[in-house]
Structure 1
Amino acid sequence: MNHLSRLLAVVALSLLPFLGLAQEPAVTVPLPATPGPGDLITPVNPEPIPIDEALRGRLRPLGKPARKVILVILDGLAASGLTFARALSPRESIELDRFPVVGRVINKPPRGEVNDSAGAASALATGYPGPITRVAVDELGRPRRTILEEAKARGFKVGLVSDTRLTHATPAAFGSHVTDRENEPEIARHLMQSGFDLMLSGGLQYFLPAEEGGQQPQGRHLLAEAARAGYTVVKTRADLAQAVSRNAERVLGLFAPSFLPYTYEPSFRQGPTLAEMTAAALATLDRHPQGFLLMVEAGKFDPCLHQYDAAELAAQVRESELALRAIADFVRTRSDALVVVVPDHGTSGLAIVESFDPEKFRRLATSTRLLADRLAATSPDLAAQLAATFPGLTFTAADLAFLRGATAKDFPHRLGWMVNRKLGLEFLPYLREFPKGNAYDHTGEDQFLHALGAHQGLFGGVMRQWEIPRRLAAAMGFVFP
């Protein structure tokens, strides 16, 4: 550097305080602890990402920590899903469009390029990269403490809400530690041991013994155990409303044997919706002055996308929008509240193409999964039934041959792929055969994060998925993990 350059640098530095740009040390994202002998955890691309403003709260005390924090996980709904939601909105906007802070999330697992719900949720829960198919453990099966467990230990109330099963990968990762996400009976036992204050979802079968149609071994009845532990156990919408009105301190709600019903299913209105469960959770947890941390999962996007069921996907978008509005209204009226919304991964490569017409879609869309239950690839009147269900769409002889070539397992996927393509929705290139029953799997693109509320600025910029709970902890005034 020559003399003139050094002089200009000195002058510039001397002016920084007067410009409100006082120098501060560079801030980088802290990496997971150095692996010990035999530890196979090695973060992919482990070099730190400069964040500037984003993690200053991680390294110095915040003026006033957020006390009411909600993490919303949109399972499988990548950016194209948000575009799809906006296209179908009467206002041509969605609630997330009003969130002031947007970040970009790199969601690679420790090995490979594409995450699953277990690995992604484990990263979001523990602050470490999560091995796929495992729940809040490292690659050797050692438990990783979750941010809900940490918040509970620090005096916060904590809760889980999901429209899937309480034992499904995403909610499981916040309160259980297992090496196989499919071991849902064990996950249920871990959740009962967690002491979490509120849990609302489906998955009742995993909390009951075999003699009551459940999956718990050795005759264990986890609902009875929960009641003895002081939980108000609820199974219906009316039960939940009563628990809220009676100011129940600890609530366990299990409203279906497996997933809560899908919108197009006749039983949908029998149980509480995602928005109703979320509102009940906020009303229950907000009574406690010490604050709370709540995880809400909108979890049905992923199975809809796996099955190419765009009509049910649109219905789930509407349901999640109601829940997000309830959360956003809650946050906007409280200075110490924060909500962070993030997908865990993409699914099936949904894309809107030029031929997509929202009005036509709204008029013709029906759940192809449920339609396939009524039809069959071998139905002699398949062409007539398709014409009656989708007036205005043309099904050629080649289309019908394509459908008739499906197995019973593949038929819903072929039907969904074909119908939605005619409506202007594309999925990953279809190879005229399904090697798997659930069609195409997850996708590994970066995801967009949206934040609103106290310390929302912590969530701008580019971050890895496992950084998100660290930033949540910073917003809440503590260091994690």
Structure 2
Amino acid sequence: MLPLVLLAFTAPTACLHAAAPKKNVIFMIMDGTNSNAVTLSRWYKGSPLHLDGILTGGVRTYSAESAITDSAAAGTAMATGVKTKADYIGMDPEGRPLITVLEAAKLNGYATGIVATSPVQHATPAAFTSHAITREEFSSIGEQQVYQDIDVVLGGGSSWLAPKKKNHPQDDGMLKTDEVTRKDGEDLKKPLRGAGYAYVDTRKELLLEPSAGKLWGAFASEDLSYDLDRSELKPDEPTLREMTRTAISHLSKEKKGFFLMIEGSKVDWAAHQHDPVGMISEILSFDRAVGEALSFAKKDGNTMVVAVTDHGNSGLTIGNTDLDGSYKHQSVSRFIDPLKKARLTVEGAASLLEGKDAKDALDAYGLDSQSCRWSPSKKELKAQMTSSLSQKAGLGFTTHGHTGEDVFLYAFGPGKPSGLHENTDLPGIMADFLGFSLGTYRSWYADGRDSLEKQGYEVTLKTGTANPEMVAKKGKTILRFPENKNYYMSNNDKIPLKSVTVFNGKTFYIHLDSM
């Protein structure tokens, strides 16, 4: 027998080389947030934010057609590296699909995930996972997401997974049922289960779910509740921090690494309503999720965390015209104390309305019965409530829409971006860190009709139904490409594709190298 010491020196050379470390990217987006809102949230919290420690620069947010972007164009820019038009999801300004950094990460062997407090079919998560000519195509967006083979999806939007009637609130608070969420009649939970997903719809199920395998969590028919309202009104819904922790736990088990997009969606929604309490609620919720991501990244050592907002919203100011002559003498408590009296956001408070007694709603929002007169419309009452509270807190607003300012860039970890960037720079920076180039995928999606006709097929488009498809015939071979699916039918055989088939209303786009 050879001496033990000789055995140690005769090990194969390959064993002497360590495997390349896994790399991960966690991209976090705080929708519709301006700098005053972040400052106000820090004062409200009374201590530094997790974001404060990773501030590295700024981001320009304008779209291809406007100085003030919408979330669809902004999300597409940050997902694809190309500026586009308002309402376009994963499409260039001419309406052609662009591969996203999430799709490219998947093609390069990385696990992928999305987390949102909005419906996952909403503009920002949609821009990373689907392609549509308008952000309102929730059915098509949801179907593409199901067939994108994303490893973890957590958020709202369960109503867009099944063909059932949709209840929606009226101004009188009653529910009216007259819409079908999926007019194509498809139950998308079936292909999810067929693809091996665990499907959960409560906080308890999420926290008990083993941290391995594919996971789809849909915790509300549309959006999740505001974080401040959750414990009182929606205790079965998870927090953004809990969804972040679960997503990271699942994805970190993968061999190569992962790409995870997380959106704190509802700062934007609160800003549109001029609700400072709702804005603070969601900024602090997002910041706790950032803390969760940073905790993982600091232990891991090979994770890039990037956090940014996609655009400003509402023009919130700490100070208003009432303080023109006295702003120099206003303490922090002057702005914060009135906000602290609210135990619910305006949306949560308005949900307490019963009959025509607004007292409970006013109390929940930190106002007395003299603050607002009763309005016959819940929408009008909410506007009165937010106006009254903002006046008491010395806050101002310039618009109910988006704003065009540059926003803060936050980043941590190897390869982190710093300085002032275009929003289109971010996906390329993240792709480079993961070891691939988005530029190599610019021609990924091809005009299906043109490509197949060059191969001798006779191509027709069947677009007069709820399930459009492209049909190609050559001899006895018939190929069928249903929109939004990651497969095509060759006669009776189902053939997988590397990407979903995209239909923009005129043209079917496919990836031919899959065939």
Task: Specify which of 416, 419, 423 is matched with residue 461 of structure 1.
Answer: 419
Q: Distance in 2 between matches of 1:387 and 1:334?
A: 46
How far residue 139 of structure 1 moved from its aligned partner, in angstroms, is 2.5
Indicate how the Cα distance of structure 1 residues 279 and 98 shifts in structure 2: closer, same or farther if over 3 A, else same: same
Indicate how the Cα distance of structure 1 residues 419 and 251 shifts in structure 2: closer, same or farther if over 3 A, else same: same
Alignment partner, residue 369 of structure 1:
347
How far residue 318 of structure 1 moved from its aligned partner, in angstroms, is 2.6
Structure 2 contact 277–345 (Cα < 8 Å) conserved: yes
- What are the within-5 Å matches in structure 2 for residues 350-389 of structure 1? 350-353=316-319, 354=327, 355=330, 356-364=334-342, 366-374=344-352
Alignment partner, residue 260 of structure 1:
224
Alignment partner, residue 412 of structure 1:
382
Alignment partner, residue 35 of structure 2:
79
Task: Specify which of 203, 221, 227 is matched with residue 157 of structure 2.
Answer: 203
Indicate how the Cα distance of structure 1 residues 249 and 422 shifts in structure 2: closer, same or farther if over 3 A, else same: same
2:287 is equivalent to residue 332 of structure 1: no
How far residue 148 of structure 1 moved from its aligned partner, in angstroms, is 0.3
Task: Specify which of 264, 267, 270 is matched with residue 301 of structure 1.
Answer: 267
Indicate how the Cα distance of structure 1 residues 359 and 248 shifts in structure 2: closer, same or farther if over 3 A, else same: same
How far residue 324 of structure 1 moved from its aligned partner, in angstroms, is 1.1
Write the letter of the residue equivalent to 1:448.
F
Write the letter of the residue equivalent to 2:244.
T
CA shift digits 1:187-228 (9 cap, x unpaired)? 011111111111111100000112698612232110111100
Structure 2 contact 80–98 (Cα < 8 Å) conserved: yes
Q: Secondary structure at the match of 1:111?
A: coil
How far residue 386 of structure 1 moved from its aligned partner, in angstroms, is 5.4
Task: Specify which of 50, 68, 71 is matched with residue 95 of structure 1.
Answer: 50
How far residue 388 of structure 1 moved from its aligned partner, in angstroms, is 9.8
CA shift digits 1:418-472 (9 cap, x unpaired)? 321211221116xxxxxxxxxx11101001110001112xx11111111110111
Alignment partner, residue 6 of structure 2:
none
Indicate how the Cα distance of structure 1 residues 217 and 382 shifts in structure 2: closer, same or farther if over 3 A, else same: closer
- What are the within-5 Å matches in structure 2 for residues 159-308 of structure 1? 159-210=113-164, 215-243=181-209, 245=210, 247-263=211-227, 264=229, 266-308=232-274
Task: Specify which of 47, 61, 68 is matched with residue 114 of structure 1.
Answer: 68
Structure 1 contact 232–248 (Cα < 8 Å) conserved: no
Indicate how the Cα distance of structure 1 residues 413 and 478 shifts in structure 2: closer, same or farther if over 3 A, else same: same
Q: Distance in 1 between matches of 2:281 and 2:362?
A: 21
- Tell me which protein shows more helix as a share of its residues: 1
Alignment partner, residue 70 of structure 1:
26
Write the letter of the residue equivalent to 2:251.
L
Alignment partner, residue 506 of structure 2:
none
How far residue 273 of structure 1 moved from its aligned partner, in angstroms, is 1.0
Q: Distance in 1 between matches of 2:306 and 2:103?
A: 18
How far residue 365 of structure 1 moved from its aligned partner, in angstroms, is 6.0
Structure 2 contact 114–125 (Cα < 8 Å) conserved: yes
2:104 is equivalent to residue 150 of structure 1: yes
How far residue 261 of structure 1 moved from its aligned partner, in angstroms, is 1.9
Indicate how the Cα distance of structure 1 residues 66 and 346 shifts in structure 2: closer, same or farther if over 3 A, else same: farther
Indicate how the Cα distance of structure 1 residues 112 and 308 shifts in structure 2: closer, same or farther if over 3 A, else same: same
Q: Distance in 1 between matches of 2:282 and 2:124?
A: 17
Alignment partner, residue 18 of structure 1:
none
Write the letter of the residue equivalent to 1:420.
S
Q: Distance in 1 between matches of 2:287 and 2:363?
A: 32
For structure 2, which runs of at least 5 residues remain unmatched after alignment? 1-19, 168-179, 320-326, 440-515
CA shift digits 1:232-264 (9 cap, x unpaired)? 111122222333x2x432111111100012232
How far residue 391 of structure 1 moved from its aligned partner, in angstroms, is 6.3
Q: Report how many aligned residue pairs link the two structures.
A: 394
Q: Distance in 1 between matches of 2:141 and 2:368?
A: 48
For structure 1, which runs of at least 5 residues remain unmatched after alignment? 1-63, 430-439
Q: Distance in 1 between matches of 2:285 and 2:128?
A: 23
Q: Distance in 2 between matches of 1:240 and 1:344?
A: 28
Write the letter of the residue equivalent to 1:275.
R
How far residue 111 of structure 1 moved from its aligned partner, in angstroms, is 0.4
Q: Secondary structure at the match of 2:25?
A: strand
Alignment partner, residue 48 of structure 1:
none
Structure 1 contact 420–426 (Cα < 8 Å) conserved: yes
Task: Specify which of 394, 398, 417 is matched with residue 424 of structure 1.
Answer: 394
Write the letter of the residue equivalent to 1:348.
S
Write the letter of the residue equivalent to 2:52.
D
Q: Distance in 2 between matches of 1:315 and 1:449?
A: 21
How far residue 140 of structure 1 moved from its aligned partner, in angstroms, is 2.5
- Tell me which protein shows more strand as a share of its residues: 2
Task: Specify which of 395, 398, 407 is matched with residue 447 of structure 1.
Answer: 407
Structure 2 contact 155–224 (Cα < 8 Å) conserved: yes
Indicate how the Cα distance of structure 1 residues 479 and 389 shifts in structure 2: closer, same or farther if over 3 A, else same: closer
Q: Distance in 1 between matches of 2:431 and 2:147?
A: 23
How far residue 326 of structure 1 moved from its aligned partner, in angstroms, is 0.6
Write the letter of the residue equivalent to 2:212.
A
Write the letter of the residue equivalent to 2:218.
L
Structure 1 contact 134–179 (Cα < 8 Å) conserved: yes
How far residue 319 of structure 1 moved from its aligned partner, in angstroms, is 1.7
RCO higher in 1 or 2 (8 Å CA, sep ≥ 6)? 1
Write the letter of the residue equivalent to 2:305.
V
Write the letter of the residue equivalent to 2:402.
H
Give the TM-score normalised by structure 2: 0.71
Q: Distance in 2 between matches of 1:234 and 1:124?
A: 29
Q: Distance in 1 between matches of 2:133 and 2:244?
A: 29
Q: Distance in 2 between matches of 1:331 and 1:258?
A: 31
Q: Secondary structure at the match of 1:219?
A: coil
How far residue 104 of structure 1 moved from its aligned partner, in angstroms, is 1.2
CA shift digits 1:130-167 (9 cap, x unpaired)? 21111001223210100000000000111000011110
Write the letter of the residue equivalent to 2:419.
G
Measured on the aligned residues, the alpha-carbon RMSD in Å equals 2.7
CA shift digits 1:75-120 (9 cap, x unpaired)? 01121121011111232x1101111x51211111000211111110
Structure 1 contact 76–344 (Cα < 8 Å) conserved: yes
Structure 2 contact 346–365 (Cα < 8 Å) conserved: no
CA shift digits 1:41-87 (9 cap, x unpaired)? xxxxxxxxxxxxxxxxxxxxxxx887111000000112112101111
When structure 1 is superposed on structure 2, of 265-274 and 216-225 the one drifting more is: 265-274
